[in-house]
């Protein structure tokens, strides 16, 4: 999954009204960037907010949005994972801690698929050392119960299930996690009972996530569908049910998720259904997503639909997104479509991006197309970015091209290219961009180039 979760529904401008007056403007500006999906701007302003207001009661919110913005950028998943990890250590009791855990779980899944299983282990360890600490006796008891779960015989399962009546919801929640690897009919029955009646919403949500990991079972499938559709069920439970269903490989999931996306009153539930459609990656899911895009009025949800279409990497999704990207409207939706082109087959995506750069009359669209072009690899991309500097495009677009070159530290020729750009173009802003790009590379060769430029500047000042 490219970049998602509970976006703005759980956080409203009404909440911002509680900020101290001196904090409010910077925070609101940063949050506006989140809504506009301007991740660099959000990171910059929330970072400034933390520096200017170190004692604000909103620092955990600002820190969360920094990590969220980093996870949405096309950067290192490992860095975003670490950002959320640091957030949880600094703000263990934040209202955003559950969301941070969810983000980390998704990032860990993606990193695991890329051959980096150590992040799943780190996430598990973080769960175990959660700062909402259970006592030492409970931790020791959990380890014993987990070992019994590894054995998994009927008598061991009976012992584990007996402890799910513990009065401490944090203990019950952790114990439920143990059950995801224990396949036994009584486990299924107990989890269904917890989902329907446990007094803790977090325990119920964890039970839904756990039961979704168990083997195919019609009772489980019916329960998950019921909670996904049930309008009066708590939002956390509905989202957990939708996310659990997407891995169940059931027929007709596209229609179930379409119904949830169309009828749910809560933004977070709608968003979860849209994300789940993207994860299905089927032609039917693509068709539903395109229908939803054309029928839903919410701008934020339409952004999410474009992201989900990109996640499918399906040819029909490419046709839909490329058409929207080339329509030429000066809008955030058009730019979102342009950004999602990097999810598709390189040759077709590059051809579309070049067409946008050469034909659109809106400089912001050109800039986003150049930025997206820079996400692709290969020396041909370097040449494409460099050629933009000689095109009749606004200076801001040229700066984006130079910034894109600064991300290509694996290209052995990139320092020479940036050095050439600095000396070829007289515009100070382009020279400054080349200098910043050399600094972003951070290599020894880049340092030497910067020292040479510095010597030239100093010599010129003496003349």
Q: What is the DSSP string of 100-164?
A: HHHHHHHHHHHHHHTT-THHHHHHHHHHHT-SSPPPHHHHHHHHHHHHHHHH--HHHHHHHHHGG
- Domain range for residue 450? 363-463
pLDDT confidence band for 128 (50 / 70 / 90): low
Q: Give mean pLDDT, residues 391-406.
A: 93
| Neighbour tally for 332: CB within 10 Å | 17
pLDDT for position 330: 81
- Could you tell me if residue 267 is inside a domain? no
Q: pLDDT digits over 11-67, tens only?
A: 333 344 444 545 567 888 888 888 777 888 999 999 999 998 888 888 999 999 999
Average pLDDT of every residue of the chain:
87
CATH code, domain with 3? 1.25.40.10
The whole-angstrom separation of Cα 46 and Cα 85 is 18
Judged by average pLDDT, the poorest of 94-108, 157-171, 280-294 is 94-108
- Could you tell me if residue 44 is inside a domain? yes
Using the 8-state DSSP alphabet, how is residue 181 labeled?
G
Number of domains forming the structure of the chain: 2
- Could you tell me if residue 357 is inside a domain? no
DSSP secondary structure of 208-267: HHHHHTSPP-HHHHHHHHHHHH-TTS-HHHHHHHHHHHTTS--TTHHHHHHHHHHH-SSH
pLDDT confidence band for 10 (50 / 70 / 90): very low
- Could you tell me if residue 253 is inside a domain? no
Q: pLDDT digits over 111-123, tens only?
A: 877 778 788 777 7
Paired tokens of 133: 């600490």
- Could you tell me if residue 202 is inside a domain? no
Domain boundary among 100, 128, 156: 128
pLDDT for position 2: 34
- Could you tell me if residue 41 is inside a domain? yes
- Could you tell me if residue 341 is inside a domain? no
Domain boundary among 92, 113, 128: 128
pLDDT for position 302: 92
Domain boundary among 74, 94, 128: 128
pLDDT for position 349: 94
Q: Give mean pLDDT, residues 288-316.
A: 93
Integer CA distances (angstroms), 273 to 63, 225, 282, 292, in order = 27, 12, 14, 11
pTM over the 0.75 mark: no
Q: pLDDT digits over 202-243, tens only?
A: 899 999 999 998 888 899 999 999 999 999 998 889 999 999
pLDDT for position 8: 35
pLDDT confidence band for 384 (50 / 70 / 90): very high
The whole-angstrom separation of Cα 142 and Cα 171 is 8
User: Considering just the CA atoms, what is the radius of gyration of the chain in Å?
Assistant: 25
pLDDT for position 22: 53
- Could you tell me if residue 281 is inside a domain? no
């Amino acid at each position: 999954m490219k970049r998602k979760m509970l976006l703005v529904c759980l956080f409203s401008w009404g909440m911002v009204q509680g900020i101290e007056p001196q904090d409010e403007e910077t925070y609101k500006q940063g949050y506006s960037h989140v809504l506009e999906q301007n991740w660099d701007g959000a990171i910059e302003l929330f970072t400034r907010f933390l520096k200017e207001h170190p004692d604000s009661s909103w620092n955990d919110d600002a820190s969360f949005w920094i990590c969220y913005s980093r996870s949405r950028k096309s950067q290192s998943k490992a860095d975003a994972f670490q950002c959320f990890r640091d957030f949880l250590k600094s703000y263990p009791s934040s209202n955003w801690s559950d969301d941070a855990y969810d983000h980390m779980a998704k990032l860990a899944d993606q990193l695991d698929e890329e051959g980096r299983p150590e992040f799943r282990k780190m996430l598990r360890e973080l769960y175990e050392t959660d700062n909402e600490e259970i006592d030492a006796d409970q931790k020791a008891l959990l380890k014993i119960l987990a070992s019994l779960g590894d054995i998994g015989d009927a008598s061991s399962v009976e012992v584990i299930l007996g402890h799910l009546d513990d009065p401490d919801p944090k203990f019950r929640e952790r114990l439920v996690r143990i059950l995801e690897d224990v396949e036994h009919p009584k486990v299924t029955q107990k989890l269904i009972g917890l989902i329907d009646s446990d007094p803790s919403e977090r325990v119920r949500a964890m039970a839904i996530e756990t039961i979704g990991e168990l083997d195919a079972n019609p009772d489980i499938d019916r329960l998950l569908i019921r909670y996904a559709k049930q309008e009066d069920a708590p939002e956390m439970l509905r989202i957990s049910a939708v996310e659990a269903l997407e891995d169940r490989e059931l027929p007709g999931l596209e229609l179930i998720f379409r119904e949830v996306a169309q009828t749910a009153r809560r933004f977070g539930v709608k968003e979860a259904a849209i994300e789940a459609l993207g994860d299905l990656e089927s032609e039917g899911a693509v068709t539903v997503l395109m229908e939803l895009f054309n029928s839903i009025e919410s701008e934020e949800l339409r952004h999410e639909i474009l992201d989900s279409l990109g996640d499918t990497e399906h040819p029909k999704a490419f046709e839909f997104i490329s058409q929207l990207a080339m329509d030429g409207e000066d809008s955030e939706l058009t730019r979102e479509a342009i950004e999602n082109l990097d999810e598709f087959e390189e040759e077709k995506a590059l051809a579309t991006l070049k067409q946008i750069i050469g034909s659109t009359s809106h400089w912001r669209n050109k800039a986003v197309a150049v930025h997206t072009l820079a996400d692709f690899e290969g020396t041909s991309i370097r040449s494409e970015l460099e050629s933009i500097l000689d095109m009749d495009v606004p200076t801001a677009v040229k700066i984006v091209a130079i910034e894109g070159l600064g991300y290509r530290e694996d290209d052995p020729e990139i320092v020479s290219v940036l050095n050439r750009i600095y000396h070829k173009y007289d515009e100070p802003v382009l020279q400054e961009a080349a200098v910043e790009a050399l600094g972003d590379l951070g290599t020894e060769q880049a340092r030497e180039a910067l020292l040479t430029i510095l010597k030239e500047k100093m010599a010129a000042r003496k003349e």
